[in-house]
Structures are given as C-alpha cells and as structure tokens.
Structure 1
Amino acid sequence: MNNQEIVQKLWNLCNVLRDDGITYQQYVTELTYLLFLKMMKEQETEGVIPEGYRWDDLLDKEGLELKTFYQRLLLELGSSENERLRLIYSDASTSIAEPKNLEKIIKSIDALDWYNAKEEGLGNLYEGLLEKNASEKKSGAGQYFTPRVLIDVMVQLIDPKIGERCADPAAGTFGFMIAADQYLKNQTDDYFDIEPQEAEFQKKEAFVGMELVKDTHRLALMNALLHNIEGRLEQGDTLSGNGKWMKNFDVI
C-alpha cells in the first residue's frame, strides 16, 4: 500500500464522524493529534511523550474509558515541558462525541501499512492528507495550502542557496519552507555534501515562519516536525508586534 492509498483510507474515516457533526477541518486537526502519537511510535521517538500517554496506552482502552483517557491525554500533552509537543497540543480538545467512533479511528490508524508509509516518508504522507483537505471545497482549507506543483515551480525560480535564511510570514501549513528544504537536500545528497555545521544550520535556522490561525499553525508544526525542520515557527500576526523578529532574511 502506497502513501496515496493510505491517505485515501485515512480520509474515508471521516465518514465515521459524520454523525458527530465534525467538519473536514476539525477532522484533520483531530487526525493530527492521533497521527502524532502513532508516528512518534513508528519513528521510535516516543521519548518526547510522557510515559502513560503514548500510542499503545490509547490502544489498550475502549469505550467510555478510552474517551475519558483521550481527553486527559490532550490536556497533559498541552502542558508538556517539550515545546513542540506543547504547541501541537495547545488548547487541544476532541470533537468526537461517540467513544465507539474514537475507538474505530484509533484501531483503523493502527492497522494501516506503516512499513511502506515509512519507506515513502511520513512527512509525504502528512502532506498528502493536507492536500486532500485543501482540495475538498467544503473544508475551506485551500486558503492555507498552495498546490505542490506551484510551490515547486516558485522554489525553482527563486533558487534558494545553502546558508540563506528563508522565511514565510504567512506560513499556512509550511509548504513553501518544506519545499525549499527538499530543493536544497536534492542538490546536496540530503545535506551529506556540506559541512556538519552547515547541515545543522539548515535544520535549525534556515527555515522559519509565522501563521495567524491557531489550528493551521498546529498543522504547520506537525508538518515541520515530520520533515525534520526545527526552525522558529510561531503563531501570531506578522504585521503586529509579534512579527518584529522577522527581519534580515535572504529569501521571503
């Protein structure tokens, strides 16, 4: 099963939640909470998540106990000491009213072909999901997601360079910065052709952004995390005092 098929399966699960009155945008946000836990397990990076609040802890429970535990998990991770974790789960709450629906979604996610998903890249899988949401007119997410083909052409024309500081002041789901990162990785054998300190700069400082809408910022953080980008990515209005730090960049 390839990533496209996995994205379609994840998307079809939205039908399970129709009776709960959940919108596509709410569904993608809800999926982000669950996929983060599952993807951390698959990448063997669960150390950032407190013990007792990991993917297998969700799988162990069912019915009302599961729903109550999931609500507690969202609160716990939203106050985590780990900054990225805290931001992804900040003010998180579930829109799923029926425990049986929550259980079905968790078990369906667990049953997907994660071996092939990892082979193709979990970041690509997540971007596929964001693209699916943007293409669904009812979701209204098109304003936050620029089609990948258009992004790639613009990145090629702008032609960013290693060592340049790149910023997106209206970041959406962070697609432009992720494409710029991939463009440079393709030129440098995933940064193996450059000095270690240069590679560290690319990972931690080269790509930054700011997004106004809280739920979209959450999706952008998850997207950056799955693409191994750790640059500053804040939520706020770039045109207000929040955006004062956004200056002296090489590429906008």
Structure 2
Amino acid sequence: MFEQTFKNIDDILRKDAGCSSELDYVEQTSWVLFLKYLDDFENDRRTSADLKFKTYTSIISSEFQWNTWAMPKDNEGRFDHHKALTGDDLKDFVDHKLFPYLKKFKHDADSADTIEYKIGEIFNELKNKIQSGYNLREVINRIDELRFRTHAEKHEMSHLYEAKIKNMGNAGRNGGEYYTPRPLIKSIVKVVAPKIGDKIYDGAAGSAGFLCEAFEYLRTSKSLSTSETEILQKKTFYGKEKKSLAYIIGIMNMILHGVEAPNIVHTNTLAENLSDIQEKDRYDVVLANPPFGGKERAEVQQNFPIKTGETASLFLQHFIKILKAGGKAGVIIKNTFLSNGGAGSADARLRQLLLENCNLHTVLDLPGGTFTGAGVKTVVLFFEKGELTQKIWFYQLNLNRNLGKTNPLNENDLADFIELQRTFADSENSWTVNVKDIDQNTFDLSAKNPNKKNETALRDPKEILSAMKALDEESARILDSISELV
C-alpha cells in the first residue's frame, strides 16, 4: 500500500508546474511527509504521557497541527471536507502562515540536537514549490494514508524513501551525488565494525546513507538496554552537509530509520580550519563518500596544510584530523588518488600524510559503473589513526558482468571481499603490499594486481563506449562547476 501511495504522489507532482524533476518530487514529498511524521510522533508522546498520568505539551501549537489544517475531523472522527483548506486558500496558508511559523523554531529551540531545532532548520532551507493548491490537497490526502506508529511501518517507509533517493540518483546530472549504493555502504560498515558508544561521523553526509546503515548495524547487533538505545538516539551519529536539499533528505532519511532528532548540521565542512579542531571535536569512526570532481576556491584551501583544489582530497585531510587516536575510517575516493602526482605534489604529500599518521590496512578497488551515472572508478580506503602503515591489503572487485542501472552492485558481489578481509588473505583478487617497497618519493599506491589472470583481456566495445559517454558527462559537470565559480 505504501509503495502505491508514493507512486500516486509522484504522479500528482508531475502535473504541477512547480515541480520539474525527480529532485523536486523528493524534496516536496519530504516536507509534507515530515509534518505527517511529526503528527504521529506527537500522538505517540501524548499517549505515553497519558499512560503515566502526565500532561503532554505539544511542540506544534493547535492552529498548525496536522489535524487542524491538513486533515481536520468532524465530531465522528471523519475527514471534514467543509473545514479542510484547498486551492488558493490552502496554498496561501502554507506559504504565508505555516512555513513562517515553522521557521521560527530554529531560533527558539534550546539546542541544535532537539526536534524543535530540526523543524526550524528544515523549513528555513526549503519552500513549497507545489503551485496548485488542489495538487497540494491531493498530496496531503495521500500522505495522510501513511503511518509511522509501529517499527514495521517505519521500516517499510524507510525502504521506500531510500528507493526514492535511488531514483533521484539515477535521474541524471545532479542526483548522483545524493546516492551511494547501499550494498557498498553496508559492506564498509561491516568492515569498520563500529560499536555502541562510538561517535560516528560523516562530514559529507548527503542523504545520510552511511549514518542510517551504521544505525541499523548497531541497532540489530545485540539486544539493547534502555541506556544503549538512548546513546544510539542522541550521542552516536553526527554529520555535516553543505547543500540544502541533501540536508533535508538526510534528516528525513534518518528519522524514517528511527533516529528522532538527527545530529546533522547544515554547513560547509571545508570552511572549518583544520588547526581549530580540538580533541573534544574528534570522533571514533568516520564513514564517508566525499564529493569528487569538485574544485574548491583559494580561500577554502587556506584551511588545509596541503593545499589542493580537489574537494575529495581536502575532505580526506579533514577526516584524518578529526579522527581520535585509534579511530577507524572507511572513505570512498577516486582511484586516481592512489597514483596521481609526482614527488612533492599535493596528492603525493597527502598519501604520505595518510601512511605516516594512519594504518591504511585495506584498499578496496571497485569496478567502473559502481556509481550509476558516474564514469569514474573509485576505491575505498580503510584506515586507523595513530599507527604507521606497514602493509596494505588490496582487494580488486572483479565481476563477470557490467554494472549499471539495471544491473547494480549487490551484497553478494562483496561477500568474498568481506570474508578475505578478516584475515587479509591472498587470492586471485587480493594481495598485500609492503610500504617499504613503494616509491618513497611519490608514495604511488597503484592497485596493480599481481595475481589476476587474463589481465589484458579486451573489453567489450559497448563497455568502452559507455565509459566514454560517462567520462564526457563527468567532464561537462566539472566544466559547469568551474563556470559557476568564475
């Protein structure tokens, strides 16, 4: 039923003049969905208070509660068509009363880790794009069919919302940055193996896929006590996100997975000077897929000891700095990081920094097509801070098929990697490199598999053409980003 509801909402938004893409559908569904969630959240709190013979004070004042403006009821508990706003009346109320009211929560909240602050933050970052009040009425009616009262309902909802994010990621040029394949994230979380009590951080949170999967991993790792549940809710997951839409989607995604007031901050992580990071600011675990291909301005580069325009390289410096001693990380980055630049270059110095400040124990080399719509090849760096790297275990994921929208990466693809990584075993796809054997000037870490048979086999022409098309698209994206900076 929930799946059909989401499809119906997309159909409504497609015919609205204010919504033109999959990104708009997700954004506009998100704010209405959030208000419906908030209504169910308050009802649960009210019921709990009643059972304890306590008084519950609503977060939202009566005029702006869901059952007043969105779905008013008559004396018999049925939808009251006479009281329900629609058309221009509904749009005017939402744009000129509801949104301004909700925006004020950000300034009135006691702290940033409260649900009140998140309400204000979200409604300061977006606007209602649904131009027809009649379409908005239809969307509200559909959203009201959804329930967030049981764990099973929230679980189903989170899967459907993830599917919407994935569709947005497949939608083209701007969507891909919001979606990292969930089988890859789950595998990274399994290898890093966070534990309850760890502070887990993603400084490029996007749709918060890493934080959501880490939450699921820890939530199901054991039978949790009340105090452990409280720790997971309030003192475990932290993120930062620069872009408004990604921030909103990340907050909603975490809420649907069961984190009531996500600790995600809307800010530019790279605007923070590394020298200002203190011990109190550090984390036990970093899980991230920082944006690659971006170019940062000179003033942003001044925040880092190794100055480079490459966004992902700046993020990697940030992650190394913000990890606690003994902290663990799993970070996705372009595979060119392993070999780009000669002696003294920014990339070579960054590789040296990583090897000398952390134990880079594992590199997972991913095939092209892992990220739908992106032609770049990527690797995952697994490292622990505070120990010198002596040996690096490489695993090259070689699949007998081409990856794409209709044939994406799945968890079975990564099962062999997870199994062999436990003991750093050699195989046809894995090998170990002694750091003493690499060039001590360039610190080149190219993933050259000495065990792979038929390494020179020719690629299928269709695969080559697909890769060329993807690279052309990536070049266009980079040129667009450069033109925006000029």
For the superposition of Structure 1 and Structure 2, which TM-score range results when normalised by the shorter chain? Answer: 0.7 to 0.9
Give the corresponding residue for 1:114: 147
Aligned with residue 64 of structure 2, among 37, 45, 53: 53
SS in 2 for 1:67: helix
2:90 is aligned with 1:66: yes
2:263 is aligned with 1:232: yes
Contact 1:210 1:234 (C-alpha < 8 Å) held by counterparts: yes
The within-5 A match list for 1:198-209 is 198-209=228-239
Q: How far apart are the structure 2 equivalents of 1:245 and 1:124? A: 36
Segments of structure 2 that go 5 or more residues without pairing to the other structure are 46-57, 72-83, 109-115, 287-486
Q: Aligned pair in 2 of structure 1 residues 229, 208: CA closer, same or farther (>3 Å)?
A: farther
Give the corresponding residue for 1:127: 162
Displacement of 1:77: 0.5
Q: How far apart are the structure 2 equivalents of 1:242 and 1:53? A: 41
Higher relative contact order at CA 8 Å, sep ≥6: structure 1 or structure 2? Answer: 1
The within-5 A match list for 1:74-223 is 74-80=99-105, 81=108, 82-110=116-144, 112=145, 114=147, 119-121=152-154, 122-137=157-172, 140-189=174-223, 191-192=224-225, 196-223=226-253
Tell me the amino acid that sits aligned with residue 55 of structure 1: W
Q: How far apart are the structure 2 equivalents of 1:52 and 1:236? A: 32
Tell me the amino acid that sits aligned with residue 122 of structure 2: I
Q: How far apart are the structure 2 equivalents of 1:34 and 1:184? A: 29
Q: How far apart are the structure 2 equivalents of 1:94 and 1:78? A: 13
SS in 2 for 1:251: strand
Query: Under a length normalisation based on structure 2, what TM-score does the superposition of the two structures give?
Result: 0.46
Q: Aligned pair in 2 of structure 1 residues 23, 103: CA closer, same or farther (>3 Å)?
A: same
**TM-superposition CA deviations, 1:169-207 (whole Å, max 9, x none):** 100011101100110111113x23xxx433322211111
2:40 is aligned with 1:42: yes
Sequence identity (%):
25
Aligned with residue 32 of structure 1, among 22, 30, 33: 30
Q: How many residues align?
A: 244
Tell me the amino acid that sits aligned with residue 266 of structure 2: Q
Tell me the amino acid that sits aligned with residue 147 of structure 2: W
SS in 2 for 1:89: helix
Q: Aligned pair in 2 of structure 1 residues 197, 20: CA closer, same or farther (>3 Å)?
A: closer
Displacement of 1:229: 4.9
Compare 76-85 and 39-48 and name the one that shifted more.
Answer: 39-48
Compare 166-175 and 20-29 and name the one that shifted more.
Answer: 20-29
Q: Aligned pair in 2 of structure 1 residues 7, 97: CA closer, same or farther (>3 Å)?
A: closer
Displacement of 1:116: 9.6
